[in-house]
């Protein structure tokens, strides 16, 4: 197993990269999820898979490890979808 990330800044960058890949490979689901306010349901499997990968790579000793991943979802997937027409904005 590769050495785990112990730096919170690097962990956040990794989370952003993982979520960015999810958004890149699922643009239709992202757009539909934003339009219909069900993005977390539509991408549940992909986001969980990404979270598991994140947990494998990032030390559990980092305080707020899951919050870093959740923040990356908002920063990368939700904020960047702001141009998509939706009742949630």
**Enclosing domain of residue 43:** 8-81
**Tally of domains within the chain:** 1
Q: Which of 22, 36, 44, 38 is nearest to 84 (CA)?
A: 36
Identify whether 2 is part of a domain: no
- Mean per-residue pLDDT of the chain: 90
Identify whether 23 is part of a domain: yes
Give the pLDDT band (50/70/90) at residue 45: very high
Distance CA 62, CA 57 (A): 12
Distance CA 42, CA 60 (A): 27
Whether 25 and 75 have beta carbons less than 8 Å apart is answered as no
Q: Is the pLDDT of residue 32 over 80?
A: yes
Q: Which range (46-50, 78-82, 85-89) has the least confidence?
A: 85-89
Report the share of the chain in percent with pLDDT over 70.
89
Identify whether 3 is part of a domain: no
Q: Is the pLDDT of residue 38 over 70?
A: yes
């Amino acid at each position: 197993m590769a050495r785990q990330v112990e730096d919170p800044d690097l962990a956040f960058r990794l989370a952003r990269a993982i979520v960015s890949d999810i958004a890149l490979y699922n643009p239709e689901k992202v757009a539909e999820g934003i339009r219909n306010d069900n993005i977390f349901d539509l991408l549940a499997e992909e986001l969980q898979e990404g979270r598991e990968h994140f947990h494998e790579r990032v030390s559990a000793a980092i305080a707020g490890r899951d919050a870093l991943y959740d923040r990356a979802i908002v920063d990368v997937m939700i904020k960047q979808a702001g141009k998509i027409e939706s009742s949630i904005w």
